[in-house]
A and B are shown apart, each in its own frame.
Chain A
Amino acid sequence: MAAQQLLLNVDNVSRVFGGLKAVSDVNMQIQDGELVGLIGPNGAGKTTLFNLLTGVYEPSGGKIHLSGESVGGLRPYQITKRGAARTFQNIRLFGDMTVLENVMVAYHMHARHSLFTSIFRLPGHFKGEAEMREKAVEFLKIFNLDGKKDEIAKNLPYGEQRRLEIARALAARPKLLLLDEPAAGMNPQETVDLMNLIRWIRDEFKITILLIEHDMGLVMGVCERIYVLDHGQIIASGTPEEIRTNPHVIEAYLGQEV
């Protein structure tokens, strides 16, 4: 195995909302190719951490490096261009666009034809659009959504909307894929299928995945390493086995099965 490279380095990152420290001095190091879980009780600050990593919020303190480059203060689209794409806990599809168009939007930043080229329908436009369409269809095939490519996204059943959101994030060709509760609202069978799919994506696309998940059994099953967040702080990190037996974690999840 080749020497591993540090892909994401979160260094003492905090975020304060009014008097509330939603994320508090968080440190996190993720190597290239890892599949890492982020768990924690409701309101622990998991989504807020994702929002910090993707530039939706600016950290109140600390530094974030992606592939050795600081992403502090960058706009979300700039961070996406540098290789981090995400899904949302509350699905955020482009509801009135078709399934195919949703994925094509993610490919937009790789498009080489300019607005000028499109307005005058120069050859580059047709070539570029055809390429994007092909690529988008490829991604839809992976997620078994190609049969529905012309449907309006908001009309898809819930589970398929979740899958479409992942397909869309993947189409941005990220190095780091951030999934915020991808299995939320799915039935057990859909959840198992999704987890297998996530592992397969990591291997097939050779990317790194950080995922938030509530279902403990599921995170333990699929992730190689887990961070536990509670009240904005990382209270534990390690392999699923280490997490399962960690007294802090058991305390945070008191009364819950770990």
Chain B
Amino acid sequence: MFNKKFFLYLVLSLVFYGVVQFLITGMWLNDFYVDTLVLIGINIILAVSLNLINGFTGQFSIGHAGFMSIGAYVSAIMTYNFQMSFPVALLAGCVAAALAGLVIGLPTLRLKGDYLAIATLGFGEIIRIVWLNTEYVGGASGMNGIDKLTNWTWTFFLVLITILVIQNIVKSTHGRAMISVRENEIAAEAMGVNVTKYKVYAFVVGAFFAGLAGGLTAHYFYIIQPTSFNFMKSFEILVFVVLGGLGSTGGVVLGTILLTLLFTYLQEYPELRMIIYSLILIFTMIFRPQGLLGGFSAKKMVKKGGSSQDGSSTTSA
């Protein structure tokens, strides 16, 4: 991490931050552009954290919007009902989401491939229905009038921290342990890797940052509703990751930027979204399963559930 390339990226991104901040202060950048930048940042946090679960650890999870909603609601409750400061509220949201990751993660971790996908999807829907039926957080109409505390500076630096933390995990023995789980669970366990522990780590850290993205969202758009965190949202994050490249942080950031921009300009046709996402997903899987910047093949993630995992195949080589 502390090499030349790292400092180059760091300096470049700080310069980018400074230029944007300068343009905002000088009123040269109108709200539409700032909104888009913040949205890209939040989406990057979501995609990079889902990538830790799906891309690096190889667990097919599509319940990220559920974790995100926990961060959004908990942090909003903290600032709105308890007048907590923004960073404390954000942190509370992250911790709550991470705890949910732990609680949900443990029992579902025995599942693989598409079974895990279905379980995580179900979890996301359950969380949404809990919000929907909780009067304290406004039920279907959600929470209104949340202070707008998120800005470009918060977004930028939290994106930076998210990427740093994920990269620091991935480029360490703990990250290699996660990748080994993705590559071959039986072999990983046989080499002394506590597979369950690393799956849980991936879920907890992934959920933590999804919660962060939720907190930022709640405090940027004034209002949160259960529908903002439906299956569509989880699916959207998955598409960012698959298009960018599972297990490639750079690719995922690129994919997220491209797709977020695309949909900002297609905002008037929301019904097109689902169709375009599905098409992108299908075409990526067929023509470039490793994603834009060459991660690991998305086909493997889906197929994993079906392959024999008992270590006793009698194929002769």
How many pairs of residues, A versus B, come closer than 8 Å at their CB atoms? 130
The answer to whether A94 and B173 have CB atoms under 8 Å apart is no
- How many chain B residues sit at the interface, stated as a range, is 35 or more
Report the bound CA distance from A169 to B184 in whole Å.
Answer: 14
Chain B: CB-nearest residue to A115: B174
**A91 to B296, Cβ gap below 8 A?**
no
Asked if A56 and B193 sit within 8 Å, CB to CB, the answer is no
A155 at the interface (CB under 8 A from B): no
Tell me whether A47 and B314 are in contact (CB under 8 A). yes
In the bound complex, CA of A192 to CA of B36 (Å) = 65
* Pairwise interchain contact A158-B317, C-beta atoms closer than 8 A: yes
A interface footprint on B288-317 (CB within 8 Å = 1, 0 otherwise): 000000001000000000000011111111
Stretch at the interface among B62-70, B93-101, B140-148, B164-172: B164-172
B280 adjacent to chain A (CB < 8 Å)? no
Selected from A85, A111, A132, the residue in CB contact (under 8 A) with B191 is: A85
With contacts A48-B312, A77-B195, A97-B179 taken as known, whether A113 is within 8 angstroms of B173 at the C-beta atoms is yes
Q: Is B177 an interface residue (CB 8 A)?
A: yes
Q: How far is the CA of A158 from the CA of B316 in the complex (A)?
A: 13
Asked whether A93 lies within 8 Å of B184 as measured between CB atoms, the reply is yes
Residues of A within 8 A of B85 (CB): none
> Shortest distance in angstroms between A229's beta carbon and chain B's nearest beta carbon?
14
Inter-chain contact A108/B191, CB cutoff 8 Å: yes
B195 surroundings in chain A (CB, below 8 A): 77
| Distance between Cα atoms of A92 and B315 in the complex (Å) | 12
How many residues on chain A are close to B (CB under 8 Å)?
49
Q: Which residue of A lies closest to B316 (CB)?
A: A184
In the complex, the chain A residue whose C-beta lies closest to that of B312 is A47
Q: Is B135 an interface residue when CB atoms closer than 8 A count as contact? A: no
Query: Does any Cβ of A come within 8 Å of B117's Cβ?
Result: no
Segment 7-64 of A: residues with Cβ below 8 Å from B: 42-43, 47-48, 51, 54, 56-57
- B177 lies within 8 A of A92 (CB): no
Q: In the complex, which residues of chain B have a beta carbon less than 8 angstroms from the beta carbon of A92?
A: 184, 186-187, 190, 311
Interface string of B76-98 (1 = CB under 8 A from A): 00000000000000000000000
A90 CA to B244 CA in the complex, in Å? 32
Distance (whole angstroms) from the CB of A175 to the closest CB of chain B: 13
Which B residues touch A107, using CB under 8 A?
A: 173
Is B2 positioned at the interface, with any CB of A under 8 Å from its CB?
Answer: yes
B125 close to A (CB within 8 Å): no
CB-nearest residue of chain B to A76: B189
Q: Let me know if B155 is at the binding interface, CB within 8 A.
A: no
| Cross-interface CB contact of B192 among A89, A93, A108, cutoff 8 Å | A108
Does residue B261 face the partner (Cβ distance < 8 Å to A)? no
Residues of B close to A54: CB separation below 8 A:
190
Complex Cα gap A111–B201 (Å): 17
Of B173, B174, B190, B317, which is within 8 A of A80 by CB? B190
Q: Does B114 contact A (CB under 8 A)?
A: no
Task: List B residues 172-216 near A (Cβ within 8 Å).
Answer: 172-177, 179-180, 183-184, 186-195, 201
Question: By CB atoms of chain A within 10 A, which of B173, B174, B193, B194 has the most?
Answer: B173
Report if A132-B180 is in contact (Cβ < 8 Å); known contacts: A77-B195, A85-B191. no
Contact A108 B187 (CB under 8 A): no
Let me know if B8 is at the binding interface, CB within 8 A. no
Task: Give Cα distance in the complex from A70 to B201, angstroms.
Answer: 29
Q: State A51–B314 Cα separation when bound (angstroms).
A: 13
| Contact in complex: A85, B190 (CB < 8 Å) | yes
Bound Cα distance from A85 to B177, whole angstroms: 16
Which residues of the other chain, B, contact A94 by a CB distance below 8 angstroms? 179-180, 183-184, 187-188
B1 to chain A, nearest CB (A): 6
Q: In the bound complex, what is the Cα–Cα distance between A104 and B183 (angstroms)?
A: 14
Asked if A199 is an interface residue, CB under 8 A from chain B, the answer is no
Expressed in whole angstroms, the Cα–Cα distance for A158 and B317 within the complex equals 9
A105 within 8 A of B: yes
Closest-by-CB residue of B relative to A80 is B192
Decide: A56 and B310 in contact? CB cutoff 8 A: yes
The answer to whether A89 and B190 have CB atoms under 8 Å apart is no
B173 partner residues in chain A, CB cutoff 8 A? 104-105, 107-108, 111, 113, 118, 128-129, 132
B190 touches A93 (CB 8 A): no
A14 to chain B, nearest CB (A): 16
Closest CB pairs A-B (n = 3)? A109-B192, A118-B172, A94-B183
A-B contact pairs, 17 of them (CB 8 A): A56-B310, A56-B311, A75-B189, A77-B195, A80-B192, A85-B190, A86-B190, A94-B188, A97-B179, A104-B176, A105-B191, A108-B173, A108-B193, A113-B173, A115-B172, A118-B175, A168-B191
- List the interface of chain B (C-beta within 8 A of A): 1-2, 165, 168-169, 172-177, 179-180, 183-184, 186-195, 201, 296, 310-317
